[in-house]
Structure 1
C-alpha cells in the first residue's frame, strides 16, 4: 500500500483514534508519505523527551512559566500561564529583560533526537517546529545541507518595519528576500538560534492573532508548500487556545489527511473537540516506539 493511497479524510463527527496494529499500519503509511514529501511534520516540545528523561531546556509552556517565575515571581492567578507570566515581566521589567531571560532559559543546546535526524535527511518541502529549542535546525545543520531556509516568527516589539518573520540560512545569516530552496523550516514562535527571537508574551500575539485568520502573518512560502499535503503532529499538545489557533491557521487550506502522535488517554475535552473538528486522526502509540518505527525499519 503506497503513500498515495492515503486519501483526504472528511471531517469526522467523532475523534478517530488508532491503536495497536492499526496504529502501526497507519504509521508505516505516514513514513511513506513523509519520504514522498506528501506530509508536513509539525513538531512540538514533547519530542524533546524522546530518549531523554530530563531535557536540558523546558519542554512545556508550564515549565517556561516556572523558569520565569524563578526570576521574577508573578501573581498566583497567572503563575502557571507562560504567556501571562511573560507579559507580567515585560511590563514590569522591560522587553529586554524578558528577552535576556528567555535566552538564558534556552541557552543549553538541545541535541536532535533520532526523529529530528531522520527528518533532516528527507526531501521535505516544509517542516514546522513549534518550540524554541532549535533541535530541528541543529539536525539540518548536521547533515551539511545548504538547500534549507529557516523562517522564524519575530516579535514586533523590537521592529520598526512592518514584518512578521525573519529568514536565515543554516549558517545564521539573515536573508532578505528568501531565495528558492528545497526545504523551508518554519518556526512560528521564534527560536533561541541564531538570533534569540521569541514570541512569548501576550502582547507578542495581539497583532498576530488579529490578522492570523486572514493569514497575513504566515509566510507565502508556507502557504504555497502546505498545498496538496497533510500534517503530522509529533510532540504537540493542544490544551491551550493559543496552540490550537496556530495549528489551525498553519494547516489551513492544506489538503490532508492529518495525524497526531499523542497519548489518547491524556487528551482534554477541548483537545478532543479540536482534533475531531480538524479531522486529525490520533495515533495512540508511545513516542519512542513510533520514532523507532519511522526512523528505522518496521519490525
Structure 2
C-alpha cells in the first residue's frame, strides 16, 4: 500500500515485487496480453498522453462550448458537426504528428514475441517498437464508419504499413481498437464514431476474429490505463471478454483511483499493482 492515497485503502493492491517478477516469463510464454493505455507514453511524450490532454489540445484549436470542454469525445463531436470530419482528422494528425520514440517498456514488449498486444491510444510507439525489433507482426486497426458507404469495423495492415485483405500468420498481432495516426490516419474519436460501435460491441461484432482467438485462454496486463471514463471501461471489458483471468493493472504509485475505477477492477477480476512502468520494463528486460 506504500505511496497510495488514503481513499484507496479499500483496494486490495498486490505485492509489486512478486507480481512484476512473475509477469515476464508469462508474457514470453504467450500467457498474457499486454494492453497499453496513453499513460504508457510517459509524462515527457511529445504528443497528448491522456484523453484530458487531447481535449485540451482540441480546445486550444477550436472554441468549444462548456459542455464539450475537457471531454475529448464531445470536443471532437462538436468540431465534426460544425467544421466537418476532415477538420477532426487534420487536428488529430497535427496532435500526433511528432514521432514518438518507443520507451523501454515498448522495446521490451516488442522483443518478447507476445501473440497479441493491444494499444488503445493514437500514437504509433508500439508499432514503431515492433518494427525496430524486426518482429513478425501485423496490425488490426479500428476504423470510423463515418465515411459514406463504410461497412467494416477494422482494417488489417502488415509491418510495412500496407493494407492487406486479411491477417497473415503473424507471430504478434498489434490491435489498435481506437485507430491510430499510422499507418493510415484512422481515428475513432467523436461521439458519433462510437455510437454504432458501442451498440454492437456487447455482442462482439466490432471485435476482429483474430483478436477473439488470441485472447482465449490468456489474461490481460493493463499498462498506463485509467478506467475513470465509461467508454474506456466498456472497451477494456469487451476486448478482454471471454479471456482467462485474473488480470493485472499497473498504476503509478500515488494514483488516486476513482470509485468507478475501484468498482470496475473488482467486477472484472483485475488485480491492481502500484509500481512505475519503468520498473516493469526493467523486470521484462532481465535475462531469463
Which bracket does the TM-score occupy, shorter chain normalised? over 0.9
Matched residue of 1:90: which SS? helix
CA contact (8 A) 1:106 1:192 kept: yes
Unaligned runs of 5+ in 1: 1-13
Matched residue of 1:54: which SS? coil
Deviation, structure 1 residue 16: 2.8
Counterpart for residue 246 of structure 2? 257
Counterpart for residue 35 of structure 1? 28
Counterpart for residue 64 of structure 1? 54
Check if 1:17 corresponds to 2:13.
yes
Q: Deviations over 1:48-86 (max 9, x none)?
A: 11xxx4210000101111111111111123200000000
Name the CA distance, whole Å, in 1 between partners of 2:12 and 2:268.
11
The one of 10, 26, 44 aligned to 1:54: 44
Name the CA distance, whole Å, in 2 between partners of 1:105 and 1:32.
36
The one of 241, 245, 248 aligned to 2:230: 241
Matched residue of 1:111: which SS? coil
The one of 180, 191, 212 aligned to 2:201: 212
Q: TM-score normalised to the size of structure 2? A: 0.93
Matched residue of 2:112: which SS? coil
Counterpart for residue 26 of structure 1? 19
Deviation, structure 1 residue 133: 0.5
Deviation, structure 1 residue 256: 1.6
Counterpart for residue 197 of structure 1? 186
Which runs of structure 2 are paired with 1:226-237 in the superposition (5 Å)? Answer: 226-237=215-226
Matched residue of 1:208: which SS? helix
Name the CA distance, whole Å, in 2 between partners of 1:98 and 1:160.
19
CA contact (8 A) 1:15 1:281 kept: no
CA contact (8 A) 1:229 1:257 kept: no
The one of 104, 121, 132 aligned to 1:131: 121
Unaligned runs of 5+ in 2: 1-9
Name the CA distance, whole Å, in 1 between partners of 2:284 and 2:107.
11
CA contact (8 A) 2:105 2:280 kept: no
Matched residue of 1:261: which SS? strand
Q: TM-score normalised to the size of structure 1? A: 0.90
Equivalenced residue count is 278
Regions of 4+ moved over 4 Å: none
Q: Deviations over 1:238-271 (max 9, x none)?
A: 0100000000000000012200001464100000
CA contact (8 A) 2:105 2:277 kept: no
Q: Deviations over 1:220-250 (max 9, x none)?
A: 0000000110000000000100000000000
Name the CA distance, whole Å, in 2 between partners of 1:181 and 1:102.
29
Name the CA distance, whole Å, in 2 between partners of 1:190 and 1:231.
20
Counterpart for residue 80 of structure 1? 70
